[in-house]
């Protein structure tokens, strides 16, 4: 059995990995190995250099997964350029804003753009000096649900070292087959990809996620591992595909209406396990043990992936507080707008000494394990207590007629009070097709009696100050569809809640 690749750079990770790659490209499937990918990347890097790019220049990449995306990533590693990852689903306005803020010299959105840059023909001369662990390699964007997205800079070192830790922690090896269901533009996708390379695993890389295609690929290739959002797994489980070969499946919890997804997956032979990560520390920072009982695998968080990582919970009250992290997977800093420098003031403001302040609410479990609860910005302060909205949302979903809930706080004369927004049973999953509309909901199925019943249930099962003062149905929740999954825009819900009084 080949040992896990422990490499200081992304270039060396590619050089030493023996992972076979099966890549969808323009409707066809191409077999590729890492050596061939690295050679393609070197050719493109040389072409970029001939065109005037120098080490440290940013190359914006806005494409779906595929051969071209992989080639540009390899080119950035070899040429010591920095890949500015832009989700292909972003609006033109947001994409252009992010690209401008990154100071990108070149933007690649298609193979034609590569051809225009001279990257499909052989280039002469050296593309760059040998890659260095401290070279900047990729820029991720934060979700930006409450403010403008930050630009998160990672070095080759942090990506490559974390890849080895992930392969070791998740048990990736040459017998593993990973289905890449996540876009490479986000940390969730790129971390899974790099970890599979470090484990010499076979990688199946479709252009994008389609549930029917994913189910067929699981059956065809005997997929043993895949990661994704709860929404992805929900759609995959709606197919009739045989998913019994999947042994390792980490999921991100983003959709409150899918809180039973672990139990549903269990009945299909898939043992979903919670995890934790973010752009600044990379995905798969922690992971639940897939061999543990269902109730222990369901919460987000888990055990630290790297033996060199550490966490602490700075408690505000009780046993819950802000999660702070250390470890080799941490980012270099936030990129200053329009330039090549790190915004030191912004970066330092997110650290407490050597500890990165995640802005997440968590609870310690063991010295190497924690439970993620929610974003600190989403925490409700009610009657002087910090309350995770998920606690109230879970109670609301127990009420017949309510399929999903989101709870925010609104300021009232007697202090902050919770307001709940819900989806009804005829819309059991997060509705992406119906846009969020803050006009009043008009449906005879939801009447005052149901609202009062929901409030009464919360009063019976929770502390009375946690019971919502209003329960308001919506056609859909406001969301952002980012590279790491669908996330609720709670800022819009807070604004809507304030307008109810």
**What is the DSSP annotation of 425-444?**
TTS-S--SSSPP--SPP--T
Give the phi and the psi of residue 474 in degrees, each rounded to 5: -130, 160
376: closest CA among 315, 285, 450? 315
Structure tokens at 412: 């009232």
Query: What band does 160 get if pLDDT is binned at 50, 70 and 90?
Result: very high
For the sheet with 82-85, list strands across it: 106-108, 58-61, 82-85, 136-141, 151-155, 333-334
* Topology (CATH level 3) of domain 379-498: GMP Synthetase; Chain A, domain 3 (3.30.300)
Asked which of 137-146, 160-169, 290-299, 347-356 is least confident by mean pLDDT, the reply is 137-146
Asked whether the predicted pLDDT for residue 177 surpasses 60, the reply is yes
> Angle at which helices 67-79 and 34-50 pack, to 10 degrees?
70
Structure tokens at 461: 């099962």
Average pLDDT over residues 178-196: 96
Q: What is the residue extent of each domain of the chain? A: 10-373, 379-498
**What is the DSSP annotation of 36-98?**
HHHHHHHHHHHHHHHTT--TT-EEEE---SSHHHHHHHHHHHHHT-EEEE--TTS-HHHHHHH
**What is the DSSP annotation of 97-112?**
HHHHHHT-SEEE-SHH
pLDDT over 70, % of the chain:
91
Residue 400 three-state SS: coil
Cα–Cα separations (whole angstroms), residue 261 to 298, 460, 466: 9, 26, 26
Average pLDDT over residues 198-217: 97
Taking the C-alpha atoms of residue 40 and residue 122, their distance in angstroms, rounded to an integer, is 10
Q: How is residue 123 annotated by DSSP?
A: -
Asked whether the predicted pLDDT for residue 443 surpasses 60, the reply is no
Asked which of 288-297, 435-444, 486-495 is least confident by mean pLDDT, the reply is 435-444
Per the listing, tokens 């307001």 go with 419
Average pLDDT over residues 78-101: 93
The CB-side HSE value for 116 (13 A sphere, CA atoms) comes to 8
Cα–Cα separations (whole angstroms), residue 323 to 229, 277, 451, 461: 22, 12, 35, 28
Asked whether the predicted pLDDT for residue 359 surpasses 80, the reply is yes
Query: What band does 135 get if pLDDT is binned at 50, 70 and 90?
Result: very high
- What is the pTM (predicted TM-score) of this model? 0.84
Average pLDDT over residues 2-18: 97
Asked whether the predicted pLDDT for residue 376 surpasses 90, the reply is no
Asked which of 168-182, 191-205, 285-299, 426-440 is least confident by mean pLDDT, the reply is 426-440
Taking the C-alpha atoms of residue 12 and residue 367, their distance in angstroms, rounded to an integer, is 33
Any residues with CB less than 8 A from the CB of 241 and at least 6 apart, and which? Answer: 214, 215, 216, 218, 219
Asked which of 182-196, 428-442, 460-474 is least confident by mean pLDDT, the reply is 428-442
Structure tokens at 369: 């394990």
Q: For the chain, report the end-to-end CA distance as a whole number of angstroms.
A: 65
pLDDT for residue 130:
86
pLDDT for residue 347:
97
Please report the sign of the dihedral spanned by the C-alpha atoms of residue 487, residue 491, residue 492, residue 496: positive
pLDDT for residue 61:
96
* Topology (CATH level 3) of domain 10-373: Rossmann fold (3.40.50)
Q: pLDDT tens across 228-269, in order?
A: 999 899 999 999 999 999 999 999 987 766 778 999 999 999
- Start-end of H helices in 398-447: none
Taking the C-alpha atoms of residue 130 and residue 133, their distance in angstroms, rounded to an integer, is 10
Asked whether the predicted pLDDT for residue 432 surpasses 60, the reply is no
Average pLDDT over residues 447-466: 89
Taking the C-alpha atoms of residue 76 and residue 61, their distance in angstroms, rounded to an integer, is 11
pLDDT for residue 340:
84
Query: What band does 434 get if pLDDT is binned at 50, 70 and 90?
Result: low
> Angle at which helices 389-397 and 448-461 pack, to 10 degrees?
120
pLDDT over 90, % of the chain:
69
Taking the C-alpha atoms of residue 75 and residue 51, their distance in angstroms, rounded to an integer, is 14
Taking the C-alpha atoms of residue 298 and residue 284, their distance in angstroms, rounded to an integer, is 15
**What is the DSSP annotation of 369-381?**
EEEEEEEGGG-EE
Please give the mean pLDDT across all residues of the chain: 90
pLDDT for residue 429:
46
> Angle at which helices 156-170 and 187-198 pack, to 10 degrees?
70
pLDDT for residue 308:
98
pLDDT for residue 169:
95
Query: What band does 215 get if pLDDT is binned at 50, 70 and 90?
Result: very high
Q: pLDDT tens across 267-324, in order?
A: 999 999 999 999 999 999 999 999 999 999 999 999 999 999 999 999 876 788 999 9
pLDDT for residue 26:
87
Asked whether the predicted pLDDT for residue 450 surpasses 50, the reply is yes
Taking the C-alpha atoms of residue 19 and residue 196, their distance in angstroms, rounded to an integer, is 8
Average pLDDT over residues 71-86: 96
Cα–Cα separations (whole angstroms), residue 470 to 355, 428, 450: 39, 21, 11
239: closest CA among 216, 261, 259? 216
For residues 472 and 441, the answer to whether their CB atoms sit within 8 Å is yes
How deeply is 317 buried, as exposed, middle or buried, from its count of CB atoms within 10 A (0-12, 13-18, 19+)? exposed
Radius of gyration of the chain from its Cα atoms, rounded to whole angstroms: 23
Cα–Cα separations (whole angstroms), residue 285 to 295, 329, 334, 360: 20, 8, 19, 14
Average pLDDT over residues 23-34: 94
């Amino acid at each position: 059995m080949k040992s896990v690749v422990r490499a200081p750079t992304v270039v060396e990770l590619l050089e030493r990995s023996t992972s076979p790659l099966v890549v969808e490209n323009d409707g066809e499937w191409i077999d590729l190995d890492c050596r061939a990918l690295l050679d393609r990347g070197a050719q493109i890097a040389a072409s970029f250099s001939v065109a005037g790019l120098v080490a440290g220049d940013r190359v914006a990449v806005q494409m779906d997964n595929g051969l071209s995306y992989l080639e540009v990533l390899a080119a950035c590693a070899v040429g010591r350029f920095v890949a500015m990852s832009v989700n292909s689903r972003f609006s033109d306005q947001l994409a252009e804003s992010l690209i401008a803020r990154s100071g990108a010299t070149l933007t690649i959105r298609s193979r034609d753009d590569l051809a225009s840059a001279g990257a499909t023909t052989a280039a002469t001369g050296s593309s760059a000096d040998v890659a260095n662990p401290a070279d900047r390699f990729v820029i991720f964007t934060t979700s930006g649900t409450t403010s403008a997205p930050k630009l998160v800079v990672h070095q080759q070192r942090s990506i490559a070292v974390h890849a080895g830790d992930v392969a070791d922690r998740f048990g990736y090896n040459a017998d593993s087959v990973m289905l890449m269901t996540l876009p490479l533009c986000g940390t969730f996708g790129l971390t899974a990809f790099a970890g599979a390379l470090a484990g010499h695993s076979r990688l199946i890389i479709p252009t994008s996620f389609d549930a029917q295609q994913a189910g067929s690929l699981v059956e065809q290739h005997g997929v043993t591992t895949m990661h994704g959002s709860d929404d992805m797994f929900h759609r995959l489980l709606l197919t009739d595909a045989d998913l019994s070969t999947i042994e390792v499946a980490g999921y991100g919890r983003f959709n409150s209406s899918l809180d039973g997804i672990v139990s549903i997956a269990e009945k299909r032979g898939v043992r979903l396990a919670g995890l934790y990560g973010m752009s600044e520390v990379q995905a798969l920072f922690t992971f639940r043990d897939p061999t543990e009982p269902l109730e222990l695998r369901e919460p987000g968080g888990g055990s630290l992936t790297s033996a060199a990582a550490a966490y602490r919970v700075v408690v505000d009250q009780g046993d819950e507080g802000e999660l702070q992290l250390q470890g080799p997977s941490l980012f270099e800093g936030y990129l200053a707008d329009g330039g090549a420098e790190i915004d030191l003031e912004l970066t330092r403001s997110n650290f407490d000494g050597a500890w990165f302040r995640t802005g997440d609410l968590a609870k310690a479990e063991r010295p190497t394990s924690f439970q993620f609860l929610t974003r600190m910005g989403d925490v409700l302060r009610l009657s002087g207590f910090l309350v995770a909205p998920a606690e109230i949302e879970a109670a609301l979903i127990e009420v017949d007629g309510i399929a999903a809930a989101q709870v925010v706080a609104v300021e009232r004369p007697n202090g902050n009070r919770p307001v709940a927004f819900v989806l009804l049973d005829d819309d059991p999953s997060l509705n992406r097709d119906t846009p969020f509309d803050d006009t009043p909901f008009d449906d005879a199925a939801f009447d005052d009696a149901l609202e009062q019943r929901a409030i009464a249930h919360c009063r019976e099962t929770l502390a009375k100050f946690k019971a919502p003062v209003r329960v308001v149905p919506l056609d859909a929740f406001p969301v952002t569809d980012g590279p790491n999954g669908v996330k609720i825009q709670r800022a819009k819900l807070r604004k809507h809640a304030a307008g109810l009084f």
